């Protein structure tokens, strides 16, 4: 657990002995490590809400999430006094506050580029609507798909892309197209004023710093899986 | 960059002064941080190979990958003297060695559970074959899909699942099913002797420690995107 509440100064002497000083630093920023964990808290709190749980103690949440109760308390203390000794956390309040931090209280208009299987899977992905992501358009280069609708949203051709983004206040583009075209399409998106790209193409997009890119590199995830299998087999004498 | 070449012992006194000792530890293990970066190296090296590049310097690789040359040298030095001063790295050798570490030189038989859009997208995913993941079966509960083939692989019903895993030496199951059934299916998979699960269901699977689970939580990725948009707008006075 990293919380940037301290600065450390460290000095070494030649025997490898080190010494230094811990200084408490005032910081209201929530650390990146906590931010990275928020979506998971949000998911668990959402499930608790759905099953009608109004309050939960850090210990109970700890058992469910398989995180230590002390980490949960440290993390959730960032939001200031939501937990009450003996009463636990107010699930709805915490869920709402974390949702606000994650920017989920505002509507986000988005489009999907690439109407293949993955594009269709994402278009049909229920989580979007629940979390105020509004599918406004689907684009593809394949003329046989023109006019086909997915969840009531018609597939448009790429020549309409730029105007459509500008006229419909589109914030996010989801890229589910092959890597050899993704880089050029990303360029078009930037020119049209897109703010963020959710990238499923197997390539690092080369866009200006102010464009937010979140990449889902499936093959890298698969390689981590494969690495772990391989390591397990080595340690346990498998193939 | 974390490399576990040292152990630290740290003590605090009441003024926040700390002291301790650094001990060098013999370690041939590659650190987790390096492992996490390997898939990205592998991807870039693969692209270089495809475009016929035989050797590359850490500086050129640095420019492409947007990682410092010194980090590249540190990371790749883990594989022992592949880089030669003035000659650069042998792309093919490095690609092959990293592929071995990632367990990509062995065939991995896998099945997909859930023949919906996402399951079909993954079944059609070219990266699998290139990296010796062999699709052996697709399973679903929907009887109207029975016998349909995707990439030549027929969709089977779930009652065949356990026997099929046992008889066909299946190592990995890809879960593209709703979260409310994923937990039970994971249990069946474990009973049938599966080794690893690539989990796309929006839930943490509760499986024994020896089962390798790699989860792709799309909604968490989407929340990170949304958080970054929201933070950007706050900092730049957007909505």
Cβ–Cβ contact B227 with A under 8 A:
yes
Cβ–Cβ contact A171 with B under 8 A:
yes
Binned at pLDDT 50, 70 and 90, residue A25 comes out as very low
Does the pLDDT at position B58 exceed 60?
yes
Give the pLDDT confidence score for residue A162 in this predicted structure.
Answer: 97
Mean pLDDT of chain B: 85
**Interchain proximity A223–B118, CB inside 8 Å:** no
List all residues 6 or more positions away from B117 whose beta carbon is below 8 Å from its beta carbon.
Answer: A117, A118, A120, A121, A124
Q: Provide the chain B residues 174-193 that lie in CB contact (below 8 A) with chain A.
A: none
Residues of A in contact with B218 (CB under 8 A): 122, 125, 127, 216
Q: Are B190 and B211 in contact (CB under 8 A)?
A: yes
Give the pLDDT confidence score for residue A81 in this predicted structure.
Answer: 52
Cβ–Cβ contact B208 with A under 8 A:
no
Give the pLDDT confidence score for residue A33 in this predicted structure.
Answer: 85
Report the complex ipTM: 0.82
Binned at pLDDT 50, 70 and 90, residue A32 comes out as confident
Q: Between A and B, how many residue pairs show a Cβ–Cβ distance under 8 A?
A: 190
Question: DSSP per residue over chain B, as a string?
Answer: -----EEEEEEE-TTSEEEEEEEE----PPPHHHHHHHHHHHHHHHHHHHTT--EE-HHHHHHHHTS-HHHHHHHHHTT-S-EETTTEEEHHHHHHHHHHHTT-SS-EEEEEE--SHHHHHHHT-HHHHHTTEEEEEEEES-GGGTT-EETTEEEEEGGGHHHHHHHTT--EEEE-S-HHHHHHHHHHHHHTT--EEEE-SSS-----TTSEEEE--HHHHHHHHHHHHHHHHHHHT--
Instruction: Give the residue-averaged pLDDT of B40-62.
Output: 93
Find the range with the poorest average confidence among A1-10, A40-49, A92-101: A1-10
Give the pLDDT confidence score for residue B146 in this predicted structure.
Answer: 92
Cβ–Cβ contact A73 with B under 8 A:
no
**Interchain proximity B226–A127, CB inside 8 Å:** no
Of A42, A102, A225, the CB nearest to B196: A225
Cβ–Cβ contact B35 with A under 8 A:
yes
Percent of chain B with pLDDT over 70: 82
State the CB neighbour count (10 A cutoff) for residue A63: 11
* Distance (Å, whole) CA B10 – CA A231: 31
Cβ–Cβ contact B103 with A under 8 A:
yes
Give exposure, B64-85, as e/b (b: 16+ Cβ within 10 Å).
Answer: ebebeeeebbebbebbeebbee
Does the pLDDT at position B238 exceed 80?
no
Q: Provide the chain A residues 39-58 that lie in CB contact (below 8 A) with chain B.
A: 39-40, 42-43
Q: Distances in Å between the alpha carbon of A71 and those of A2, A78, A107?
A: 10, 11, 31
Q: Name the region of B103 (left: φ>0; alpha: ψ -120 to 50; beta: rest).
A: left
Give the pLDDT confidence score for residue A26 in this predicted structure.
Answer: 39
- Torsion B73-B79-B80-B81 (CA) sign: negative
Does the pLDDT at position B59 exceed 80?
yes
* Distance (Å, whole) CA A194 – CA A162: 9
**Interchain proximity A228–B214, CB inside 8 Å:** yes
**Interchain proximity A117–B131, CB inside 8 Å:** no
Instruction: Give the residue-averaged pLDDT of A176-194.
Output: 95
Strand partners, B155: B138
Q: What is the pTM of this model?
A: 0.82
* Chain B residue at shortest CA distance from A116: B121
Residues of A in contact with B35 (CB under 8 A): 224, 227
């Amino acid at each position: 657990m990293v919380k940037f509440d301290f600065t450390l100064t460290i000095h070494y002497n030649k025997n490898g002995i080190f010494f230094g000083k811990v200084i408490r630093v005032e910081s209201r920023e929530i650390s990146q490590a906590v931010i990275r964990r928020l979506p998971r808290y949000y998911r668990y709190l959402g499930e608790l809400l759905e099953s009608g749980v109004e309050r939960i103690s850090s210990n109970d949440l700890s058992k469910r999430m398989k995180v230590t109760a002390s980490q949960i308390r440290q993390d959730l203390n960032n939001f200031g006094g939501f937990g009450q000794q003996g009463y636990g956390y107010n699930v709805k309040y915490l869920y709402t506050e974390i949702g606000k931090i994650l920017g989920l209280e505002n509507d986000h208009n988005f489009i999907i580029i690439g109407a293949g299987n993955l594009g269709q899977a994402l278009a049909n992905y229920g989580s979007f609507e629940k979390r105020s992501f509004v599918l406004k358009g689907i684009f593809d280069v394949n003329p046989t798909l023109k006019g086909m609708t997915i969840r009531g949203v018609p597939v448009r051709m790429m020549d309409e892309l730029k105007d459509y983004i500008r006229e419909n206040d589109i914030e996010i583009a989801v890229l589910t197209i092959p890597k050899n075209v993704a880089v050029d399409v990303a360029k078009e998106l930037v020119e049209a004023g897109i703010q963020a790209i959710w990238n499923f193409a197997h390539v690092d997009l080369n866009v200006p710093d102010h464009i937010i890119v979140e990449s889902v590199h499936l093959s890298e995830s698969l390689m981590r899986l494969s690495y772990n299998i391989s390591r397990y087999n080595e340690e346990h004498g498998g193939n």
